[in-house]
Structure 1
Amino acid sequence: MAHATRNVLITGAGSGIGAGVAAEFAAHGDHVHLLDISAERLAAVAAELPSDLVSTYTVDVTDYDGVAAVVAEIAGKGSIDVFAGCAGVFDGLAGIEQTTRELWDRIIDINLTGTFNVVKPVATEMIKQKSGSIVLIGSIAASRALPDGLAYDTSKAALEGMTRRLAVDLGQYGINANLVAPGVVKTSIRATSEEILGDIVPDTNVGVGTSPELMKMLIPMQRGGLPSEVAATVYFLSSEGAAYISGDVIHVDGGWIAA
């Protein structure tokens, strides 16, 4: 059934899962407001979408004032119906011995505090509307410590706690909040993370996360997922059919959580 065009705010929209989420919502006729730190990546994603359904904003999610200004701009044009929090970086599989204070601070600042920086002003607008849907992107790393790094695992586990509290706080206003936890997904997160973080990412075996041997051992479906498969779940959780689902973690991981 067709629905009215919604305004969908997506962070980390310049690549990977964020770009897949943008394509999914645009395919259903929603207006997607794409936020990313890279203007170049945003332009590339926007070029693949209908021009009348896309707006782009170059902003760093660690910049609270900058993010709040973008949210206010979007809200000034209409409602904010959906927030899909997809911004995040990877720490190169760094364990406790390789995790420096600088690396820890940057991962937490982007993945966790950066999510708060968007959720805060977005939730304020949704409370005024008494409607909305929030879907955050977590990770299997919140439940399975291999094969991700210490700071990354911690940030994704914390997002699950944030999601549950958001569900408690916002349910009375008709707003639901859920988290999608992907497993191995075919994206460029390692390359974009190295671009954003620079040489503070340690030189670890970054290939282990997607090796065929590891996937065969850990994932019942024995393959990595696609951004479109994660995006379809995000879309469902923002739909009318999921209006009574809130505070949940939905794994999109080929059965990894069951193994």
Structure 2
Amino acid sequence: MKQRIAIVTGAGSGIGQGIAYALVEAGYRVYATDISEARLASTKAAASSADDLLTRVLDVSDWAAVERVVADVVEHEGALDVMVNSAGVFDGYADVLETTPELWQRVIDVNLSGTFYGCRAAAQVMVKQGHGRIITIGSVAGQRGAADGLSYVASKAGIEGMHRRLAVDVAAHGVTANVVAPGVIKTNLRATSEELLGDLVADQNRGIGVSPDIWNFLIPTRRPGEVHEIASVVVFLASPQASYVNGQVIQVDGGWNAV
């Protein structure tokens, strides 16, 4: 069988990096993309198979750049089987008064528009070839207003609505579209977001993700999740076994949504 091809955005760290590694372990040839060349170099250096993990620098908020990377992968590989939209930034739990128009625009540009660009570029290919999987990393914030800051919550809620419509558009062409919505996960998202957002965010160290007391109250498992616990769900959704899963938001949150 021909090796399956995947693109993962935001693969320089955190959940995106874990997904890239998990897909390589599952036998995929993975194109890991990120806005940071240095983070991509670290991702590649730690891959179990450097031959099956290739890197591309990509700013997902740039439509032309996203379309170009997808086109280059398809030209080189002949197909695109899986598109994982994982790139995102966190707004430091900023409320409506702390969310400046500049912060709002940057978070929406990366989290929501960047996801749309990835979905559209992948759909252009997958609809034509007659198969594919589009998987996006959402958040528990997509359904819970108190989970994160205003712009982050809005972006993740938008992702859920987008994928419900996307699933309708692509299903007849052998393509599925789903969202994986993590709860509190141990990553360095705050640090990478601080690097990208700079002084647009006053404080990246607030909110549910930094308070064990709140974890114990809200999360039945009483712990944050691990990256591999998100990546394993993505690998399933990418697989042939998930061919009838479409238009879903799969919560991977330790039971937070059940409380």
Q: TM-score, normalised by structure 1?
A: 0.97
Aligned-residue offset at 1:72: 0.7
Closer/same/farther in 2, CA of residues 207 and 65 from structure 1, 3 Å limit: same
Matched-pair contact (CA < 8 Å) for 2:194–2:204: no
Matched-pair contact (CA < 8 Å) for 1:140–1:183: yes
Secondary structure of 2:250 counterpart: strand
Q: Provide the residue aligned with 1:101 in structure 2.
A: 101
User: Which 10-residue stretch deviates more, 65-74 or 244-253?
Assistant: 65-74
Q: Provide the residue aligned with 1:203 in structure 2.
A: 203
Unaligned runs of 5+ in 2: none
Identity among equivalent positions (%) equals 49
Closer/same/farther in 2, CA of residues 214 and 251 from structure 1, 3 Å limit: same
Matched-pair contact (CA < 8 Å) for 1:8–1:84: yes
Q: Provide the residue aligned with 2:232 in structure 1.
A: 232
Q: How many residues are paired up?
A: 257
Supply the AA of the counterpart residue of 1:46.
K
After superposition, give the CA deviation of every residue in 1:176-234 in whole Å (9 maximum; x if it has no partner): 01000000000000000010111101226426423110100000000000111000001
Q: Provide the residue aligned with 2:70 in structure 1.
A: 71
Q: Provide the residue aligned with 1:59 in structure 2.
A: 58
Q: Provide the residue aligned with 2:80 in structure 1.
A: 80
Q: Provide the residue aligned with 2:178 in structure 1.
A: 178
User: Which 10-residue stretch deviates more, 208-217 or 154-163?
Assistant: 208-217
Post-superposition, which runs of at least 4 consecutive aligned residues in structure 1 deviate over 3 A? Answer: none
User: 2: CA distance between counterparts of 1:165 and 1:210?
Assistant: 34
Is the counterpart of residue 45 in structure 1 residue 62 in structure 2? no
User: Which 10-residue stretch deviates more, 96-105 or 114-123?
Assistant: 114-123
Q: TM-score, normalised by structure 2?
A: 0.97
User: 2: CA distance between counterparts of 1:239 and 1:121?
Assistant: 20
Is the counterpart of residue 32 in structure 1 residue 23 in structure 2? no
Aligned-residue offset at 1:146: 2.1
Matched-pair contact (CA < 8 Å) for 1:184–1:210: no
Secondary structure of 2:73 counterpart: helix
Unaligned runs of 5+ in 1: none
Aligned-residue offset at 1:123: 0.6
Is the counterpart of residue 216 in structure 1 residue 231 in structure 2? no
Supply the AA of the counterpart residue of 2:62.
D
